[in-house]
Structure 1
Amino acid sequence: MLDPRAASADSSGYETDTPDEVQQEAVRRVCGALGMREQFEAAMAAGELLEMLESLPRGAVEASVRLMRGYNRTGEWPEPILTSPAPQRGRSPSPVDEWSDG
């Protein structure tokens, strides 16, 4: 159901043979970690998950791929690890970078 081309150009290693249910659960968990669980549920109900994937913050799709890989390896869901798109040297990655040059 999830289309890796729609998700991100850098999602190499995307598990195309992973069942849709596993892919959807990975995205649901990442959306929950981002505080976007309601948007995920609404997109699922409306059949607009691909559109929602395109609007996710950078790094979210990659985080869901890491979750799928962890689940496929161990059979258990790891905690989502969200990283900023380009962490600065010497700083730990965080979902919100307050020190950006914007």
Structure 2
Amino acid sequence: GMGGAMDLLVGAKKVILAMEHTAKGNHKILKECTLPLTAAGEVDMIITEMGVMNVTPKGIELVELNSEFSLDDIKAATGCELIISPDLKPMKQ
């Protein structure tokens, strides 16, 4: 949840966000955040049950995918266009 932890993000060398990919069928990874931002641009990587994504200046790049999901499943569950890494590989177990 929101709170003092957000203050810890600013100035961190690397921020990895671990979260569920969707909530009750709704996208959680969006093109644009609709909530107030307190640490904009601080997340470097997102890890969900579906895959691993790097947050880059060009957008969110899918670098690893869970073999239980297809690439189309992951794209459909994401509320923005994903950049697919040319080196896309299965998630490490």
TM-score band w.r.t. shorter chain: under 0.3
Larger fraction in strand: 2
Larger fraction in helix: 1
What TM-score do the two structures reach when normalised by structure 2? 0.26
What TM-score do the two structures reach when normalised by structure 1? 0.25
